[in-house]
Amino acid sequence: MESATYAVDPQPIGPPWRLWKEVGAEEAARQGVFAPVYSVSFGARNKIVIAPGDSRSMTLILDKCEGYCRGVDGRAGPNLACEGCERAVATRLDDCGSWQTVWLEPDAVVRRPSGLPAGPPPDWGDLGRAEHRVPPVELDGSWSRRWEAAIGVALAHLVAVTDDRPVNLPDGPVAELLGHAVGRYLPAGPDARTVGLAGPGIRPPRPRPDILLVPRHPLTGASWRGDEGAVVPLDSGVWAYLAHPGETSPTPATGGLPEGVLRDDYPLPSRPWCPLTPNHQAFEATLVRLPAVRDLRLRRYRDAYSQAVGEESSWCP
């Protein structure tokens, strides 16, 4: 989360957890989980997530600071208490491999106006601004963690709308950046469905592709819909980069520079040494929350191929 921002998760999150075999499919579906998982969250809905640096007047509950590595993972429930009343009010996450966040308990906090002037809320028009675009490569030359998570979420939606069938990506940034990921998660073969990019300021290609990659609203998270048809929602910052990629490519180019082109930026910018790989945990968590996964074809896909991908090494090939 960026400083001075927050988000609300409508789904249950965090402990207490109950095993799938004890819960059953019907009760799990009421919790928003539609495929067998090891355990189902029965935590509170509508938890509020903020950047850790925005938290104030809270102290760690030391006997609830378990973690796998050198941080805390919130496995025991809220681990931050109010300094004044000592009530457990939030959960700090900063274990290895986790986003650094603070999750506020919805029944333990009250929203108060800050007294500061509020800026205009973000809207579809902001997606065309250069500052809204999220580059796929970090300053150190590694792939953006936000991109890895966003592509994992988008792939789950793509698998659902295609029923695990082949797709053809459009030439340009979409194929360049997403091609490897789509090849990992979807089969190749004939009768592929076509995919195109659409959103505010961009008309869908003609003829209309079978599936449109569209942005989520930067404030509400709702998917943009230009017309009826299958859509796959994308993180708005990721979509903005694909729609308006700028002048440079994030992947290494082959060959030399065109004649007459001079370069004075030395050393050259760092580039990833392997293709963009989606975050499999984001893919899996999204797929099991899509009602379409109850379809027999997708259930077989999830139980077989998706599990096999998750067992592969997380390191780049």
| Spatial distance between the Cα atoms of 127 and 240, rounded to a whole number of angstroms | 6
Average pLDDT, the chain: 86
The sign of the dihedral angle between the CA atoms of 162, 167, 169, 170 is: negative
| Spatial distance between the Cα atoms of 210 and 167, rounded to a whole number of angstroms | 9
Which of 46-50, 221-225, 236-240 is predicted with the least confidence, judged by mean pLDDT?
Answer: 221-225
For residue 28, CA distances in Å to 159, 275, 293 come to: 21, 36, 13
**Cross-strand pairs, 216:** 223
The b/e string for 270-304 (b: 16+ C-beta within 10 A; e otherwise) is eebeebbbbbbebbbbbbbbbebbeeeebeebbee
CA 129 to the chain's CA centroid: 21
Q: What is the mean pLDDT of residues 220-230?
A: 80
For residue 135, CA distances in Å to 160, 197, 248, 300, 316 come to: 27, 17, 11, 35, 19
Q: What is the mean pLDDT of residues 213-225?
A: 91
Greater pLDDT, 62 or 308: 62
Per-residue pLDDT band at 317 (split at 50, 70, 90): very low
The reported pLDDT for the residue numbered 159 is 94
Share above pLDDT 90 across residues of the chain, in percent, rounded to a whole number:
54
pLDDT, one tens digit per residue, over 243-289 is: 988 755 555 555 666 676 666 555 655 678 888 999 988 999 999 99
221: left (phi over 0), alpha (psi -120 to 50) or beta: left
Taking a C-beta distance cutoff of 8 angstroms, is the pair 23, 47 a contact? no
Q: What is the mean pLDDT of residues 209-226?
A: 90
| Spatial distance between the Cα atoms of 238 and 139, rounded to a whole number of angstroms | 16
Residues 6+ apart with CB under 8 A from 131: none
Per-residue pLDDT band at 315 (split at 50, 70, 90): very low
The sign of the dihedral angle between the CA atoms of 194, 197, 198, 199 is: positive
201: left (phi over 0), alpha (psi -120 to 50) or beta: left
Greater pLDDT, 66 or 49: 49
Per-residue pLDDT band at 215 (split at 50, 70, 90): very high
| Spatial distance between the Cα atoms of 278 and 177, rounded to a whole number of angstroms | 11
Amino acid at 113: P
Taking a C-beta distance cutoff of 8 angstroms, is the pair 59, 81 a contact? yes
| pLDDT of 57 above 90 | yes
> pTM, whole model, 2 decimals?
0.85
